[in-house]
């Protein structure tokens, strides 16, 4: 017989025993209860609507008051003209 050392055999037995000890409690375990469905109290929806309305107000502000109507020169230098 091809020699399997007793140390290797002991190691295999120990690993199998540990596997059995870890897995055996889960064999008859109860299944986990299903997670409750997520509920929304409307605050996240309200916050999303508020962000959209603020962006619309910001865009309208820049459409109604264009940069060239302002006294500041953001993109060109008057001293060069």
The pLDDT value given to residue 80? 55
Q: 43, 45, 47: which is closest to 55 by C-alpha? A: 47
Please write the tens of the pLDDT for every residue from 23-72.
877 777 677 788 887 777 778 889 999 999 999 998 888 877 666 566 66
d(CA 77, CA 81): 7
The pLDDT value given to residue 49? 94
Mean pLDDT, to the nearest integer, of 1-5? 65
């Amino acid at each position: 017989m091809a020699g399997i050392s007793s140390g290797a055999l002991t190691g295999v037995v120990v690993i199998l025993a540990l596997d059995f000890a870890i897995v055996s409690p889960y064999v008859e375990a109860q299944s986990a209860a299903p997670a409750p469905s997520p509920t929304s109290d409307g605050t996240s929806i309200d916050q999303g609507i508020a962000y959209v309305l603020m962006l619309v107000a910001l865009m309208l502000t820049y459409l109604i008051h264009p940069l060239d109507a302002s006294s500041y020169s953001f993109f060109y230098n008057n001293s060069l003209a």
